[in-house]
Chains A and B, each alone.
Chain A
Amino acid sequence: MDHNREIDPELMERLLQLKTVPGRNPQHAAKGRAQFMQEVQQIVAQGVSLRENNRHNMWKDTIQSIFAIKRKEQSHMFGIMTTLLLILGMVLGGGGVTVAAAQSSLPDQALYPVKVWSENVRASLVTDPEAQFDLALQFASRRAVEIQSMAKADKVAPESVMNQMQNQLELALQIAANQPPGIGDQLLERARDRLRQQDQLMQQLETQANPEAEAALKRVRQMIQERLSWVEDGLADPNRLQDRLRLKDGISQITPEVTPEETLPGQGSTPTTAGENGNPWTDETPVPGSGYGPGPGPDATCTCTPGSSAGPMKTPQPGGPNKDPGPGGNGNDGGNGGKP
């Protein structure tokens, strides 16, 4: 290989002075070789398998090799730190990707608990009341969207989703009620606008949904309208909203837990926030046509099975859809469900 063009000839001549070295002493060379081979044989005699600490660190080497980390002559600590950082990055990065992916999940999907968990974490990190209010409203809207998405897919959202929506709305109202009048009114107006939007969306979907989903949407709408009326009351007189919320809390506290064995036939499980008339979404007088409360009895087209444990979300089967159950109930009304 000709490197002469890259170097001053005179300088090259000087460097080549080192080219000539005295020959190696053959005895020294033989001794060196013998020492080397002796060292090799010692290692072979001890067993060629890797030393214990290296065997235990094999996972580290494996991870490094996966990521094609170039192994220069690094310090031991550098290798350990690199590996730890890689693992940390994978855990945090992977977790972050999972949480991000979960944000669009629906209640019947595997990642949904991650979504709820991430919301809880997010909510727990917020201390500013206005931000808490916004988050609560945002999460309530998410629940509404989930209910709507499931209804579009001819599915009924689980009870827990509706409860979460109600809880988030009430939390938002509670925060607004605790604010000074000026700020509280602004927050309530925002809540009113949001509730109206949700109510309209639910109403539009009702006509397209199947009977089960329609019944669920009706109940959600009723809950929304009820909270809307609370907001209107609060805007007119903040004390009335406070009273409503206090009353609601009081009812929640004094309502005894009903075990499944105590549940009346056809009533199903009783939500912890159940109203006095068995409708979990209201503690007021049932609205005629809402499908709750006392009425003339089930529709003729709806046959209720005695002993059915259908919950408040389910329309008794068979009997087919009852688009307009009329005043009185369809078997879901607490009290006479299961009676012919």
Chain B
Amino acid sequence: MRLKYKMEDSKAQQLLSGAQRFDLECLAEIYDRFSPGLYAYAMRLLGDTAQAEDCVAETFSRFLRALRAGQGPKNHLQAYLYRIAHNWITDQYRRQPPPPLNLDETIYEDASHNPEIQTGERIEQRRVRAALKLLTAEQRQVVVLKFIEGWGNEEVAVAIQKPLGAVKALQHRALASLRKLLLEGETTDGSQPRN
């Protein structure tokens, strides 16, 4: 696993060097390599295809602007791209009204009016997404990258630009909050799922 990661990292570094020279092939490969993952990441957090497409487009556009300005990443290209995407998503969250404290009521109510999300799985997805939205931006980033995207602690630390200890602390607090929001709210009477 570690070897594979290092090989991928080495390849990403080569691509990044090419991108800094505005090599078309390298840039195209970067897009092909990372855009599917970024789209999935945005979809998981936003649940909207149009917004997810916008997120991918804006992430790569900002990446190009950074390269043009002589800035951009010197390494850890994947972490850099996910960081841009995460910031864009956080901005979208800020523009939207906050989710209700009691997650269940509004979600089920909303689902009843929308045939598209009436299946149990989609309702559950919305519930989890709403719970993640109630976390801080960094807590959300840690939980999603680590437990959904399957990144290691070191990679997450690079992505959020924090030390390893901070990642663990963020994870601990995030999971405690999620437990209250998603599990305790369900096992109790459901009246107070928010901490």
Among B40, B61, B144, B175, contact of A21 (Cβ-Cβ < 8 Å): B40
CB distance from A188 to the nearest CB of B (A): 66
A6/B171 in contact, CB under 8 A? yes
| B45 CB contacts on chain A under 8 angstroms | 18
CB distance from B151 to the nearest CB of A (A): 8
Q: What are the interface flags for A244-287 relative to B under an 8 Å C-beta threshold, 1 for contact and 0 otherwise?
A: 00000000000000000000000000000000000000000000
Interface CB pairs A-B, < 8 A, 22: A1-B152, A6-B171, A10-B183, A11-B179, A14-B182, A15-B178, A24-B39, A32-B35, A32-B57, A33-B31, A36-B27, A40-B22, A40-B24, A40-B28, A41-B24, A43-B22, A43-B64, A50-B68, A50-B69, A50-B70, A71-B71, A72-B161
Do A37 and B28 form a contact, CB below 8 Å, given A10-B183, A11-B182, A28-B49? yes
| A37 CB contacts on chain B under 8 angstroms | 24, 27-28, 31
**C-alpha gap A32/B57 in the complex (Å):** 6
Residue B82 is within 8 A (CB to CB) of chain A in the complex: no
B24/A44 in contact, CB under 8 A? yes
**C-alpha gap A37/B1 in the complex (Å):** 32
Q: What are the interface flags for B64-86 relative to A under an 8 Å C-beta threshold, 1 for contact and 0 otherwise?
A: 10001111000000000001000
Closest chain A residue to B147 by CB distance? A15
Q: What are the interface flags for A26-67 relative to B under an 8 Å C-beta threshold, 1 for contact and 0 otherwise?
A: 001100110111011101100010110010001001000000
CB distance from A54 to the nearest CB of B (A): 5
**Chain B interface mostly:** helix
B49/A54 in contact, CB under 8 A? no
**C-alpha gap A71/B83 in the complex (Å):** 14
Q: What are the interface flags for A1-31 relative to B under an 8 Å C-beta threshold, 1 for contact and 0 otherwise?
A: 1010011101110111111111011001100
Among A17, A40, A58, contact of B125 (Cβ-Cβ < 8 Å): A17
**C-alpha gap A216/B140 in the complex (Å):** 81
How big is chain A's contact interface, by range? 35 or more
CB distance from A124 to the nearest CB of B (A): 46
A15/B143 in contact, CB under 8 A? yes
**Chain A interface mostly:** helix
Residue B56 is within 8 A (CB to CB) of chain A in the complex: yes
| B121 CB contacts on chain A under 8 angstroms | 17, 20
B57/A1 in contact, CB under 8 A? no
| B129 CB contacts on chain A under 8 angstroms | 18
**C-alpha gap A14/B53 in the complex (Å):** 25
Among A1, A32, A50, A58, contact of B53 (Cβ-Cβ < 8 Å): A32
A8/B35 in contact, CB under 8 A? no
Closest chain B residue to A35 by CB distance? B57
Residues of A within 8 A of B (CB): 1, 3, 6-8, 10-12, 14-22, 24-25, 28-29, 32-33, 35-37, 39-41, 43-44, 48, 50-51, 54, 58, 61, 71-73
Do A32 and B21 form a contact, CB below 8 Å, given A15-B148, A58-B70? no
A18/B28 in contact, CB under 8 A? no
Do A33 and B32 form a contact, CB below 8 Å, given A19-B148, A40-B22? yes
Of A1, A6, A36, the most chain B CB neighbours within 10 A belong to A36
| B28 CB contacts on chain A under 8 angstroms | 33, 37, 40
10 further A-B contacts with Cβ under 8 Å, apart from A25-B49, A39-B60, A41-B24, are: A6-B175, A15-B147, A15-B148, A17-B125, A18-B44, A18-B128, A36-B60, A43-B68, A48-B22, A51-B68
A14/B27 in contact, CB under 8 A? no
CB distance from B120 to the nearest CB of A (A): 10
**C-alpha gap A58/B70 in the complex (Å):** 9
A1/B1 in contact, CB under 8 A? yes
Residue B36 is within 8 A (CB to CB) of chain A in the complex: yes
